[in-house]
Structure 1
C-alpha cells in the first residue's frame, strides 16, 4: 500500500513508519523538521511541511491508500493541535479524493467499561482532570471526523509506554477494553496498521490496551 504518515517524528508516528516500511509498504513521512527523522537503513520518502496549509499537503496525500496520523498534544500547552492540524489533513485528503484516515486519540474519550473497578475509575477521573484541555482537543477532533466524509478510525489507547512491540493486545470497536491501563507506542502503531483494511473499524472509535 501507499501510505502517508503525519507526526512521523513522534513516538507513535515513528513506529508506524518503521513497521510499515518493514512490511513492504511505500511510505511518505510528513514532518516539520526532517533532521529529526532518522532510520538505520532505507527510510521513507520525506515531505517537509508545517501542516498549516491544506493546499501544501495535497501532494503528500495524493494517490495514497491511507493516511495515518500520530498528531496530538505532547503537553497541556499544546492543546488544540490535534483538531487544528487534523483539519488541514482532512481538507487535503478531500481535495485529492483520499478517504481512509486513522488517527490517535485517547482511551478517556471512549465509553467506560462496565467492569471497570473503583480504583481504575478514580485514576481515570484524576487523569481527566489533569489533561482536560488535551482531551477536549481530541474530542473536537473526533466530533469533526464524525461530521465529515472520510472513512476514519480513532484509535484510543490508555497510558502510553516505550515498551517493545508485542502484537498482543486487546481491541474493542466502539468500546474500551476493561482494566486496560497501558499500551506501548509500538503496539499502537501495529494496531493502526492492522486496522487500515478492516471495514469494522471504519467511522469508529476503537479502544486498544493490554
Structure 2
C-alpha cells in the first residue's frame, strides 16, 4: 500500500532562481501549498492556485518570521550574486533567527557541494581542479552550513553534485551523506529537476533531520 502524503503549507525563499523555480514546480506537482518569498514579485511569473507570491527579504529576520509563521516547513534555495558571497552567512543567521521566532521547526536548505569530501579525503573545494573563481562561494556555503548545524532547529542541508545541470527530473539518482557521489567515470552531476525532487522527497519523508545529504547520478 502506498502511503498518502499529507499536503503541507510551506514557505520557499530564493524562489526566482533556477533551483527555486524547480522546487516550486516539484512541490506544486505534489499538491503542497506554497508561499514564495521574493524581493521583487514581478520576477516570478508562475501562477498557480496553491502558490502565493509575497514580497519579503531573507536577510531580515522579521520578514523571515512573518512569512514562516504558521508554516510546517521553510525551504531556502537562496544564492547570492557574484561578489556578494558573504550574504550567504547573513541569510543563514536571519533564517535561523526568523524560523526560530516563528516557531517553525523544520528548515531545509539547498547549499553548495564544495564542502563534500572526495575520494582523496579532502573537501571538493580544496582539490587542485576546483575553479578558483568559485572558491569564495564554496567557502561561504561551508560557513553557512556550520551555522545551520548549530541552530538547534530540525534542519536538513542538501549539497548538490559537483555539476548542477539544466534538465528535468528523472527520479533516478543516488543519495549520500558527506561524500561526493561520482559515477563510473568519476563524474559528479545531477539535473536541477532531480535535485528538487530529492529535497521534496526529504520534506515529505524526513530521513536526514539534523544532518546533511547529497544527491547525484
Question: 1:5 offset after TM fit, Å?
Answer: 0.4
Residue 181 and residue 123 in structure 1: after superposition, are their counterparts in 2 closer, same or farther (change >3 A)?
farther
More helix by share: 1
| Pairing partner for 1:102 from 104, 108, 113 | 108
Cα RMSD after superposing both structures = 2.3
Q: Which residue of 2 aligns with 1:149?
A: 152
Once the two structures are superposed, residues 47-75 of structure 1 have per-residue CA deviations (whole angstroms, 9 ceiling, x without a partner) of: 20132321122121011111111112353
Segment drifting more, 173-182 vs 23-32: 173-182
Q: Distance in 2 between matches of 1:175 and 1:122?
A: 13
Question: Contact 2:73/2:106 (CA < 8 Å) preserved in 1?
Answer: yes
Q: Does 1:53 align with 2:60?
A: yes
Please give the alpha-carbon distance, in whole angstroms, between the structure 2 residues aligned to 1:208 and 1:106. 12
Task: State whether residues 7 and 69 of structure 1, in contact with CA within 8 Å, keep that contact through their aligned partners in structure 2.
Answer: yes
Match of 2:4 in 1: none
SS of corresponding position for 1:108: coil
1:74-123 deviations in whole A, cap 9, x for unaligned? Answer: 53x1311222112211111100111111111222211213699xxxx899
Distance 1:156 1:80 in 2: 18
- Determine if contact 2:60/2:94 at 8 Å carries over to the other structure: yes
1:111 is the counterpart of 2:114: no
Q: Which runs of 5+ in 1 are unaligned?
A: none
Residue in structure 2 matched with residue 39 of structure 1 by the alignment: 46
Are the aligned partners of 2:108 and 2:156 in contact in 1 as well (CA < 8 Å)?
yes
In the alignment, which of 155, 174, 177 is matched to residue 173 of structure 1? 177
Contact preservation (8 Å) 1:3, 1:26: yes
Aligned residues, how many? 205
Q: State TM-score, norm by structure 2.
A: 0.85
Show the counterpart of 2:29.
22
Match of 1:6 among 3, 13, 34: 13
